[in-house]
Each structure stands twice: as C-alpha cells, then as structure tokens.
Amino acid sequence: MHPTQLVAISGVGDLGHLAVQYAKIAGATDDKLELAHELGADILIDARKEDPAEVRKRHGGAHTAVALTVSAQAFAAVYGGLRRGGKLVMVALPAGGTIQVPIFDTVLNSTRVIGSIVGTRQDVHEVFRLHDAGRTKVIHETRPLHTVNESIAAALNGQVKARIVFEM
C-alpha cells in the first residue's frame, strides 16, 4: 500500500478496526460505519444502501481490498470494486470454504487474489512499533469470563464493536 492508494476494508470488527488504522497510516452497521469514521476512514460505504463495488469504482477503484468478513456476498462486492491491477487480500474464512472469482475479469484486469492468515516477523514488529508510538488503538470491551457463550453469540450476530477481552 502507498499513501495515495484507495484501500477497501470489508468488515470493520475484530480485525477490520485495525485494518482501517493500518490503511490510514499507509496512506455495516451504523456503529461499524461510525467506528470506521472515528478511526480515520476517508470513504464510508453502507452496503445496506449502496453497492460497494459501484461506489469504489466512482472513486477509481481500490488498489487493494482486504476481505475481513465471511460473507460470500461481501467477498464479491469487495472484489468488484477493484481497479485494473488491483489486489484482493483474503483474510476471512467463509463457512463454505470457497468464493467465486470471475476468471475473465481477473485476467483482463490483471487482478491479483492472495490469501493472508499471519504476518511475518517484520509485520508483527511494525504493528507493535505503530501501536507503541500511539498511532493505533485496539478497540475492545471487557466482559466476565462466565459470559463467554453469550459473548460468542453476540459476536456472531455482529453485536460486538470490535474485540472482547474476558476477565478471569
């Protein structure tokens, strides 16, 4: 990523709230949109009201799109908003284990589709350096350990702002 590039983050939650900050440094619920805004996102797209791919295309298309939500529909929308030569980075793992990638568009537009599950040691070092410098923050809420089942249900239903930290 470079400072002048458009980066699309699909899924502002547990990992996405960090991705927004990292994208901002490098250059969808109302509360998730608000969180993305608070963290510095320049363009907010409410997928309930607008086609994310079309909005991104109006802005020239994303250089990089990071897919952090497990919805196949969200993967398709984030892919559809890439510019020629754009890159889709898949982090989330959809329940079905597959997504559809349009081969014709991928070849003609020189689109790259890659997966990323963990960073390198250098990536981790840079993340800690950014956090230590106060350039990022981890959004979390604290809950008692005995609420783990309810908390997991809340997370699966999109009712958690970002991360949950359990108290013993």
Domain ranges of the chain: 7-137, 138-168
- State the virtual CA torsion across 46, 49, 51, 55 in degrees, nearest 10: -60
Q: Which of 146, 147, 141, 145 is nearest to 161 (CA)?
A: 141
Q: Is the pLDDT of residue 26 over 70?
A: no
Q: What are the b/e assignments for 101-128, b being 16+ CB within 10 Å? A: eeeeeeeeeebebeeeeeeeeeeeeeee
Please state which of the four CATH numbers 3.40.50.300, 3.40.640.10, 3.40.50.620, 3.40.50.720 is assigned to the domain occupying 7-137.
3.40.50.720
Single pTM value for the model: 0.64
> Position of tokens 């568009």?
105
DSSP state of 24: H
Specify the range with the lowest mean pLDDT, choosing from 31-35, 41-45, 96-100, 119-123: 31-35
| Separation of alpha carbons 58 and 81, rounded Å | 9
For residue 46, give both structure tokens.
């409410």
Q: What is the mean pLDDT of the chain?
A: 81
Q: Is residue 53 within 8 Å of residue 73, measured between CB atoms? A: no
Would you place residue 28 in the very low, low, confident or very high pLDDT band (cuts 50, 70, 90)?
very low
> Position of tokens 């799109």?
65
